[in-house]
Amino acid sequence: MFGETKQSDSFRRGWQRRANGKNTMGQALPSAHPSEEKTMKPEYDFKKAKRGAVVAIPKGKTRITIRIDDDILAWFREQVDRAGGGNYQSLMNEALSQYIRDAKEPLEATLRRVIREELSHTS
């Protein structure tokens, strides 16, 4: 994750190697050495900038952090890929919502609903 020494050092070494070469158009790349970093251009003005999420969270939604087993997450991502795209988080939300709806409905009511649906298909 962020701030881990191994990844940061590895990234810097890779950037310095690229900086010693040229880009795809044959132009020299800028140095990544901290002592040679330039200051930000004066035309950038952050006086009115706001911190926070770029995309606002819609009403009725809450941002949380959870831990999901790797195999569960892989399954949801695979379902989204098979469907041709989408959002695995929305799919997980729908699965949880369906579980809650099913858990709230008593078994007898579920059986009656399923039988009614099946009878309507045969008519």
**Positive or negative: CA dihedral 8, 13, 16, 18:** negative
Name the residue type at position 89.
Answer: Q
Any domain includes 106: yes
Our count of domains for the chain comes to 2
Any domain includes 76: yes
One domain, residues 29 and 73: no
Q: What pLDDT does 46 receive?
A: 79
pTM of the predicted model, to two decimals? 0.46
Report residue 103 CA to chain centroid gap: 29
Any domain includes 49: no
Q: What pLDDT does 36 receive?
A: 58
Query: What averages of pLDDT result for each successive group of 10 residues across the chain (123 residues)?
Result: 46 44 56 62 79 81 93 96 93 94 86 93 80
Q: What pLDDT does 114 receive?
A: 92
Domain that holds residue 20: 1-36
DSSP code per residue over 59-85: TT---------HHHHHHHHHHHHHTTS
Q: What pLDDT does 67 receive?
A: 96
- Other residues' Cβ atoms within 10 Å of the Cβ of residue 92: 19
Q: What pLDDT does 33 receive?
A: 59
Any domain includes 99: yes
Any domain includes 60: no
